[in-house]
């Protein structure tokens, strides 16, 4: 259970990094438009915008897919489950001695 939670947190970090790159790429597009890079640099400004939009699109696919699958909901649910005391999680389980006594022998 702990390794699953660790893996989910690693995925959350990856999604966060992808989101940062996507937002940064949108920022580069806005910077190029607001500073007039398209008019002064010509084709270089256009390529900067095209590459930034491509980066933004590519890196935003991963976080969007995670949101559609409900990744945040699952991550928070696993965090709540890990925070429960062990007694509550094992309340329905039988002790090892009782479980062994109830198993039928052939």
Angstrom distances, CA of residue 72 to CA of 14, 57, 88, 97: 13, 21, 24, 39
Of 103 and 32, more confident: 32
What's the predicted TM-score (pTM) here?
0.62
* Two tokens, residue 53: 């939009």
Residues 6+ apart with CB under 8 A from 31: 37
Distance of CA 40 to the CA centre of its chain: 39
> Is residue 95 domain-resident?
no
Residue 31 has pLDDT above 90, yes or no: yes
Q: Is 76 a residue whose pLDDT tops 80?
A: no
Q: Which domain holds residue 40?
A: 2-86
21 located within any domain: yes
If one counts the domains in the chain, the total is 1
Smallest CA-to-CA distance from 13 within 58, 78, 38, 5 is with: 5
In a domain, 96, yes or no: no
Residue 47 has phi, psi (to 5 degrees) of -65, -35
70 lies in some domain: yes
């Amino acid at each position: 259970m702990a390794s699953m939670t660790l893996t989910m947190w690693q995925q959350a970090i990856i999604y966060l990094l992808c989101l940062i790159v996507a937002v940064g790429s949108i920022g580069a597009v806005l910077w190029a438009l607001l500073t007039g890079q398209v008019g002064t640099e010509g084709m270089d400004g256009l390529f900067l915008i095209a590459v930034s939009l491509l980066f933004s699109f590519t890196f935003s696919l991963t976080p969007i897919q995670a949101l559609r699958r409900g990744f945040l909901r699952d991550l928070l649910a696993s965090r709540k489950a890990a925070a429960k005391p062990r007694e509550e999680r094992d309340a329905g389980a039988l002790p090892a001695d009782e479980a062994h006594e109830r198993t039928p022998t052939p």
